[in-house]
Chains A and B, each alone.
Chain A
Amino acid sequence: MKSAPASARFGLIVVAGYGALAVLAPILAPYGETQIVGLEFADWSAQHWLGTDDLGRDVLSRLLYGARNTIGIAVLTTAIAALIGGVAGLVAGSLRGWVDQVLGRLVDVLMAVPSLILTLLMLAIFGTSVVSMILIIALIESTRIFRLARALAMGIGLFDYVTTARLRGEGLAWIVFREILPNASAPLIAEFGLRFSFVFLFIATLSFLGLGIQPPTADWGSMVRDNATLIAYGQMAPLLPAAAIALLTVAVNFIVDWLVHQSSGLAD
C-alpha cells in the first residue's frame, strides 16, 4: 500500500468509500429507498440535497441504496464468474486432453454470440429476476476468466516444479490448488478487478434497458434511464448516477493497473 502510486491510492480510497456508503446506506440515507417524499423533479434544497426524481423520491437516498444494490450484485456476479471460470480453466489447462477440448469448445460457443444479445435472449427465456440475471452474467463473464486461467495453467504447468509434483504422484487438486493457483493468483486477481468493472457496467446497461434490476429497487442504471429526459432541461439529476458509475469504474481500473504491474515484476 505504501509503495502504491497515487492513482492506485486514489482508486483504493474511492472503492473503500463506495463500500462504506453501500454498507451504511440505511443509516446515512435521509429517506427510504422507495419512499415518495415530495413533488417530482424538485430542485436541490436543504431537505433534498440532490433534489427528487420523476416520482418524487429523494435522489441522494436512492443513490446510496443504489450503491448497495448495484455494487453488491456486481461483486456477487463477479465472484461466481471467477469461481466457475477460474476452476474450470485451471483444471482444463492442467489436464489438457478431452476435458480441455470439451470445455474449450463450450466456451467458444458462448463467446461466439455477442454477450448483450445472448443475455437478452436468456433473460427472455428465464425471466428477469435478480437471481437469473446474476447467473447468466456470471456464466458469460466466466468464459473470459476461463481463457485466462487455462492459459496460465498451461504456462505454469511447464515448470519443473509442476512436473516434479506430477512425478511424485500428486492428485489433480494438489496440482491445481497448491502448485499452479498460487503462481497464477496475481494475474487472476487483476482479472477479477477488471471483470468487476465490466459486470458492473453490464448490469447498469441492462437496468438502463429495463431488463436488469427491477423498480422500485434503486440502482444507478435505471436511475439514469428514469431521469434521462431531464438532460433536455439542463438538469444534473441523471448525470449523478452516471458519474457514480464512471468514478467507480475508473477507480477499479487504477487498482487493477497497479496489481497487474506488481505481478508483471516490471520496475516501473
Chain B
Amino acid sequence: MGRPLLTIRGLTMHTGAQAGRTEILRGIDLELQRGTILGLVGESGSGKSTLGLASMGYAREGLQFASGVILFDGIDLIRASERERRSLRGARIAYVAQSAAASFNPARRLFDQSIEVAVGAGHVRRRDAIGQLIELYARLQLPDPGTLALRYPHRVSGGQLQRAMTAMAMLPRPDLIVFDEPTTALDVTTQIEVLSAIREVVAASQTAAIYISHDLALVAQMADRIMVLRRGQVVEEADTRQLLHAPRESYTRSIWAANDFRAAPKPIPDAQATPLLQATRVGAWYGRTPVLRDVSLTVYAGRTLAVVGESGSGKSTLAKVIAGLLVPGAGTLEFAGCCLKGGFRRRTREQLCRIQLISQSPDAALNPRQRVRDSIGRPLTFYHGLKGAARERRVRQLLTELELDPDRYAARFPGELSGGQKQRVCIARALAAEPALVICDEVTSGLDQIVAQDTLKLLDRLQRERDLAYIFITHDLAIVRAIADDVIVMKNGSIARSGHRDDVLSPPYDPYTESLLSSIPEMDPDWLDRVLERRRGVH
C-alpha cells in the first residue's frame, strides 16, 4: 500500500470558550487509503460529524483544533491557509450532508448549482459538465436524468435529492467524499435504492469515502473498515466483518443488543370486549386530493396497534384524523362506545383528555420557555385541577416513573435536555392527562438506536402498568416487531394488510409488506447484496 490519502494523528478539538471548555474529540488517529470506505458509527453527540468535517479541515462554529495533524495527500489541513483549504473542498474533498433538501438552494435549478464547483475550478467546460452530471444521474438510477437536472429542488423527492447531492459531490471527481448520514431522512425502501446507488458509483470511481451513520447495520453495508466513536474517543476500529463477528468492546456489543428488544405478547382480547377506538371506513382529503380511503381499524385497551408504511402512505394523516387535527370527510369514529366527532373543537373535554398525541419531534413539542415542571404540570391543572404542592408531587412522581430524576430535571428548560430526555418529558406530559389511548407518531425516529430502544421499553412498561392503548405510527418495521400486537400496513392512503403482528410479519407476504420487510438493514455485511440480488431476480 502506498501513502494513505488521509492521515489524522492525535486530533483533539474543543469548544472555543475559555471557561468550561469541553473536548468534542480526543486524540483521534485515523488512516484512509485511496479507494476504501471507512464507516464512522456512534450515538448522537459522539463527535462523528465533527470528525467528518474535520477531515475536510473544517471546524464547526464554536469549535477549535487544539492539537494533532490532518494530512490530506501530504497537505496539512490545519495549518494550510484558508485559500488552500477552499481550493480543496468541493474539488478534491466533497461532502454529502444529511438533509439534501436543506442543502440545495431552492431558487436555482439542480444542474446549475451541481456543476458550480467543477466548472469554477476550471476542470471542465459548462456543457461537458452538464453532460457528465446527467450521466452520473443515470448511474445513480435517477429517473429521466435529463429533465430532472432542469428541475428546482422542491420538485424532486427526498430520496432523489439525496442522490442528486451525491452526483454533485462526485462531479469534480474528488479523491475523498464524506457522507454524513445521507439516508437518515429517508424511509427504508428509498434508503435501499440510495445506498446501492452510492455504493456502486463510489466503487466504480475508486474514490475514498468516510460514511457516517448512527446505524451500524447500514454502515456495515457500505464500509470496508468501521470506527466506533463514543464521547469523542475511538472505542474500537476494525475490519467490517471482524467488527461484526467479534466486537472487542462491550459498548460495541451494546449497539447490537439495541435491536433485540421484544415486548412480551399480550393475551388476545375477548370477542365481546368493547373496543376502545373503532374507526369505520374513514376517508380524508386535502383539498380535492384523497389521502385516506376506506380505513377501518379497532384498538383495544392495553394493546398496541402499529401503523406502518412508506412516507406518503397516509399513516400520519390517519394519526391526525384520530387526534382530531384533520376532519375526516367520510366514515365514523367511536371512542369507548361513544361517537367521536371529527375535529378536536367539537370533542368533549373528557375525550380530549383521554386521547393524547405524542409527536415525532420532541424539539418542537415542548415550549422552550416553559420549565419541565410547567409543561407536565399544565395538563394536571387543566384536566384534574391539581395545584400547588399536590401538583408538584404528581409532577415529581411522573418524572420518577419516566426515569428522570425530579431534583435534576423538574426546573430545567427544554433546551437543557437531550433528545431522549425531551421525548420522555413529552411522554410524561401525555400521561399527566391520564389518557386511555396514546397516539405515538414516529416517536423514536429522531433518537439514536440505544435511546430509541430505551424509550420503547419504557413505553411498554407504562402500557402494562396503566392498561394503555397505543397507536404507533412508524416507518420502521423493526419497531413494529419490537412492540406491536396488531399491525396495519398502509399504502397510498388505504390499508394494504392488517392483522395480528405474527400473521402480518410472517410468510406468506404480499409484495408490498415483503419489500418493506426486506428493506430493514440487518447486521450482516452481505445483506444489501442479497436483497439487491433477490430483487433483480424478481424483476
**B344 engages A161 (CB within 8 Å):** no
In the bound complex, CA of A183 to CA of B366 (Å): 12
Q: Is B232 an interface residue (CB 8 A)?
A: no
Q: Is A168 an interface residue (CB 8 A)?
A: yes
Contact with A along B349-374 (1 / 0, CB 8 A): 10011000101010011111110000
In the bound complex, CA of A163 to CA of B359 (Å): 10
In the bound complex, CA of A221 to CA of B433 (Å): 59
Cβ of A124 to closest chain B Cβ, rounded Å? 45
Chain B residues whose CB sits within 8 angstroms of the CB of A163 once the complex forms: 325, 359
**A167 engages B323 (CB within 8 Å):** yes
Please report which residues of chain A, range 127-180, place their CB below 8 angstroms from some CB of chain B when the two chains form the complex: 159-161, 163-170, 178-179
In the bound complex, CA of A267 to CA of B60 (Å): 12
Please report which residues of chain B, range 55-90, place their CB below 8 angstroms from some CB of chain A when the two chains form the complex: 61-62
Chain A residues whose CB sits within 8 angstroms of the CB of B429 once the complex forms: 164
Cβ of A163 to closest chain B Cβ, rounded Å? 7
Q: Is A216 an interface residue (CB 8 A)?
A: no
In the bound complex, CA of A164 to CA of B426 (Å): 10
With A168-B379, A168-B382, A170-B382 as known contacts, state yes or no: A183 contacts B369, CB within 8 Å.
Answer: yes
Chain A residues whose CB sits within 8 angstroms of the CB of B314 once the complex forms: none
Q: Is B420 an interface residue (CB 8 A)?
A: no
Cβ of A108 to closest chain B Cβ, rounded Å? 27
Chain A residues whose CB sits within 8 angstroms of the CB of B361 once the complex forms: 160
Q: Is B324 an interface residue (CB 8 A)?
A: yes
Chain A residues whose CB sits within 8 angstroms of the CB of B353 once the complex forms: 169
In the bound complex, CA of A178 to CA of B369 (Å): 9
Chain B residues whose CB sits within 8 angstroms of the CB of A165 once the complex forms: 378
With A168-B433, A169-B349, A169-B352 as known contacts, state yes or no: A179 contacts B367, CB within 8 Å.
Answer: yes
Which of B61, B325, B366, B368 lies in contact with A167, CB distance below 8 A?
A: B325
In the bound complex, CA of A14 to CA of B365 (Å): 41
Chain A residues whose CB sits within 8 angstroms of the CB of B433 once the complex forms: 168
Cβ of B164 to closest chain A Cβ, rounded Å? 28
Instruction: Closest B residue to A158 by CB, please name it.
Output: B364
Chain B residues within 8 Å of chain A by Cβ, number: 26
Q: Looking at chain A's contact residues, is the secondary structure mostly helix, strand, loop, or mixed?
A: helix
In the bound complex, CA of A151 to CA of B110 (Å): 31
**A182 engages B369 (CB within 8 Å):** yes
**B367 engages A183 (CB within 8 Å):** yes
**B367 engages A167 (CB within 8 Å):** no
Size category of the binding interface on chain A: 10 to 19
Please report which residues of chain B, range 232-267, place their CB below 8 angstroms from some CB of chain A when the two chains form the complex: none
**A160 engages B368 (CB within 8 Å):** no
Please report which residues of chain B, range 322-356, place their CB below 8 angstroms from some CB of chain A when the two chains form the complex: 323-325, 344, 349, 352-353
Contact with A along B366-399 (1 / 0, CB 8 A): 1111100001001100110000000000000000
Cβ of A100 to closest chain B Cβ, rounded Å? 17
Chain A residues whose CB sits within 8 angstroms of the CB of B62 once the complex forms: 267
Which of A161, A167, A182 lies in contact with B352, CB distance below 8 A?
A: A167
Instruction: Closest A residue to B441 by CB, please name it.
Output: A160
Chain A residues whose CB sits within 8 angstroms of the CB of B375 once the complex forms: 161
Chain A residues whose CB sits within 8 angstroms of the CB of B364 once the complex forms: 159-161
Which of B61, B365, B368, B382 lies in contact with A183, CB distance below 8 A?
A: B368
**A167 engages B344 (CB within 8 Å):** yes
Cβ of B136 to closest chain A Cβ, rounded Å? 36
Cβ of B92 to closest chain A Cβ, rounded Å? 29
Cβ of A94 to closest chain B Cβ, rounded Å? 14
Which of A159, A161, A169 lies in contact with B382, CB distance below 8 A?
A: A169
Instruction: Closest B residue to A179 by CB, please name it.
Output: B367
**B365 engages A160 (CB within 8 Å):** yes
**A161 engages B324 (CB within 8 Å):** no
In the bound complex, CA of A178 to CA of B323 (Å): 23
Cβ of A173 to closest chain B Cβ, rounded Å? 13
By CB atoms of chain A within 10 A, which of B323, B366, B367, B379 has the most?
B367
**A168 engages B365 (CB within 8 Å):** no
In the bound complex, CA of A202 to CA of B533 (Å): 76
**A164 engages B352 (CB within 8 Å):** no
Chain B residues whose CB sits within 8 angstroms of the CB of A167 once the complex forms: 323-325, 344, 352, 357
With A167-B323, A167-B357, A168-B433 as known contacts, state yes or no: A161 contacts B365, CB within 8 Å.
Answer: yes
Chain B residues whose CB sits within 8 angstroms of the CB of A166 once the complex forms: 344
Cβ of A179 to closest chain B Cβ, rounded Å? 6
Cβ of A140 to closest chain B Cβ, rounded Å? 31
In the bound complex, CA of A164 to CA of B428 (Å): 13
In the bound complex, CA of A42 to CA of B417 (Å): 67
Cβ of B377 to closest chain A Cβ, rounded Å? 12
With A167-B357, A168-B352 as known contacts, state yes or no: A161 contacts B61, CB within 8 Å.
Answer: no
Chain B residues whose CB sits within 8 angstroms of the CB of A160 once the complex forms: 359, 361, 364-365
Please report which residues of chain A, range 161-215, place their CB below 8 angstroms from some CB of chain B when the two chains form the complex: 161, 163-170, 178-179, 182-183
Chain B residues whose CB sits within 8 angstroms of the CB of A169 once the complex forms: 344, 349, 352-353, 382
Chain B residues whose CB sits within 8 angstroms of the CB of A170 once the complex forms: 382
Cβ of A158 to closest chain B Cβ, rounded Å? 9
Chain A residues whose CB sits within 8 angstroms of the CB of B357 once the complex forms: 164, 167
Which of A178, A179, A267 lies in contact with B61, CB distance below 8 A?
A: A267
In the bound complex, CA of A168 to CA of B367 (Å): 14
Contact with A along B177-200 (1 / 0, CB 8 A): 000000000000000000000000
Cβ of B380 to closest chain A Cβ, rounded Å? 11
Chain A residues whose CB sits within 8 angstroms of the CB of B378 once the complex forms: 165, 168
By CB atoms of chain A within 10 A, which of B353, B378, B433 has the most?
B378
In the bound complex, CA of A267 to CA of B17 (Å): 12
Chain B residues whose CB sits within 8 angstroms of the CB of A178 once the complex forms: 370
**A161 engages B379 (CB within 8 Å):** no
Instruction: Closest A residue to B348 by CB, please name it.
Output: A169
Please report which residues of chain A, range 231-259, place their CB below 8 angstroms from some CB of chain B when the two chains form the complex: none
Chain B residues whose CB sits within 8 angstroms of the CB of A183 once the complex forms: 367-369
Instruction: Closest A residue to B414 by CB, please name it.
Output: A161
In the bound complex, CA of A165 to CA of B356 (Å): 11
Chain A residues whose CB sits within 8 angstroms of the CB of B359 once the complex forms: 160, 163-164
Chain B residues whose CB sits within 8 angstroms of the CB of A168 once the complex forms: 352, 378-379, 382-383, 433
In the bound complex, CA of A165 to CA of B353 (Å): 11
**B349 engages A161 (CB within 8 Å):** no
Cβ of A186 to closest chain B Cβ, rounded Å? 10
Please report which residues of chain A, range 6-27, place their CB below 8 angstroms from some CB of chain B when the two chains form the complex: none
Cβ of B416 to closest chain A Cβ, rounded Å? 15
In the bound complex, CA of A267 to CA of B323 (Å): 39
In the bound complex, CA of A178 to CA of B368 (Å): 11
Which of B61, B365, B368, B369 lies in contact with A164, CB distance below 8 A?
A: B365
Chain B residues whose CB sits within 8 angstroms of the CB of A164 once the complex forms: 357, 359, 365, 429
Cβ of B446 to closest chain A Cβ, rounded Å? 12
In the bound complex, CA of A170 to CA of B382 (Å): 8
In the bound complex, CA of A267 to CA of B370 (Å): 24
Cβ of B182 to closest chain A Cβ, rounded Å? 26
In the bound complex, CA of A169 to CA of B382 (Å): 9
Known: A161-B375, A164-B365, A167-B357. 11 other contacts (CB 8 A): A160-B364, A160-B365, A167-B324, A168-B383, A169-B349, A169-B353, A169-B382, A170-B382, A179-B367, A182-B369, A183-B368
CB<8 Å pairs between A and B, sample of 9: A159-B364, A161-B364, A164-B359, A166-B344, A167-B323, A168-B352, A170-B382, A179-B367, A182-B370
A-B complex: 7 closest residue pairs judged by Cβ atoms: A182-B369, A160-B365, A160-B364, A161-B367, A160-B359, A169-B352, A159-B364
